Copies of this chain bind each other. A is one copy, B any other.
Amino acid sequence: MSQFDVLCIGNAIVDIIARCDEAFLVDNSIIKGAMNLIDAERAELLYSRMGPAIEASGGSAGNTAAGIASFGSRSAYFGKVADDQLGRIFSHDIRAQGVHFETRPLNGTPPTARSMIFVTPDGERSMNTYLGACVELGPEDVEADVVANSKVTYFEGYLWDPPLAKDAIRLCAAIGHKHGREMSMTLSDPFCVDRYRDEFLELMRSGTIDIVFANADEAKSLYQTDNFEHAVSQLRKDCKLTVVTRSEHGSVVVRGDERHDIDAIDIEEVVDTTGAGDLYAAGFLHGYANGQPLDVCGKLGSLAAGLVIQQIGPRPQLSLKDAARDAGFI
């Protein structure tokens, strides 16, 4: 029996969240809706221009791990924080959600990663990420027994930004596949896809990845096309199982000749889109690891994503298990 349903691996980040108007993004050359990578100097500059903020543990795959645990599944996480106050906040929050998290924190500098997230009046989030201690995640952080005992290992495309994490991922893939497990990734961000297109395609075409998550922009970026259906048809060829989210238009799940078009849930007000994709993946993987049909997996994804965008912050403040029960899934 597997010890974990899903192992998630990613950049361990504390989010610093504030509202801003559209002009702020333009004035500060922040690409709207994207993950903008920044260095320590620009982090200082942007923070000095940022309004009063709140802090919440984040990190794409960390949010997914937390969401999976909130649904009641067993999840684990690998990610590198520093041994500092933000690192202790990150570690507390993910463990308090019930996620196995034992990656050794970095002693000394750089500090724990943070992402300054600016939320515009339309609810869209624009992220500015200083990677900090994440650059130290490497193969020595792979807990082989956790990989071997997780039904699915899921990681962020963002892990191609730090220098050593990709080696950890390849090690995990070798261990996981040796034990008959599945490997999954999210393409993370259209600009991230642009940075690592060939490597991401190689991961899929070599069979290193069994399940790929993307949003429409990322899927189109991967194949450098404006045609969504063309991108989906390419993904169908390149990966065993493909899940593409389309914001308010729901999602598409494709496996061989099987295709499911899933609706988004009704939203009262989009407060903050941070974590939408991460929580969709959480819902989907919770269902998948528990043997649910693909359309149900997609609906669980829609539920979790729909809930997280109606609150501030990237992790659900209410129990997703309760939400799934209320929605009739249990």
State the A residues within 8 Å of B (CB): 16, 18-19, 47, 50-57, 66, 84-86, 89, 92-94, 96-97, 111-112, 312-313, 315, 317
Q: How far is the CA of A186 from the CA of B112 in the complex (A)?
A: 37
Q: How far is the CA of A18 from the CA of B315 in the complex (A)?
A: 13
Chain B's closest residue to A87 (CB) is B85
The count of identical subunits is 2
Chain B residues within 8 Å of A92, by CB = 47, 50, 52-53
The distance from the CB of A91 to the nearest CB of chain B, in whole angstroms, is 11
Chain B residues within 8 Å of A313, by CB = 54
- If over half of A's interface residues share one DSSP class (helix, strand or loop), that class is named, otherwise mixed; here it is mixed
Q: How far is the CA of A18 from the CA of B57 in the complex (A)?
A: 13
Chain B's closest residue to A82 (CB) is B85
The distance from the CB of A157 to the nearest CB of chain B, in whole angstroms, is 25
Q: When the two chains form their complex, are residues B85 and A51 in contact, meaning their CB atoms are under 8 A apart?
A: no
The residue in A16, A52, A97 that gathers the most chain B C-beta atoms within 10 A of its C-beta is: A52
Chain B residues within 8 Å of A16, by CB = 89
Chain B's closest residue to A89 (CB) is B55
The distance from the CB of A102 to the nearest CB of chain B, in whole angstroms, is 15
Which residue in B53, B86, B111 is a CB contact (below 8 Å) of A93? B53
User: If A84-B85, A85-B86, A92-B47 touch, does A56 touch B54 (CB 8 Å cutoff)?
Assistant: yes
Chain B residues within 8 Å of A94, by CB = 52
Chain B's closest residue to A86 (CB) is B85
The distance from the CB of A24 to the nearest CB of chain B, in whole angstroms, is 13
> Which 3 pairs from chain A and chain B are nearest by CB?
A55-B55, A85-B85, A52-B93
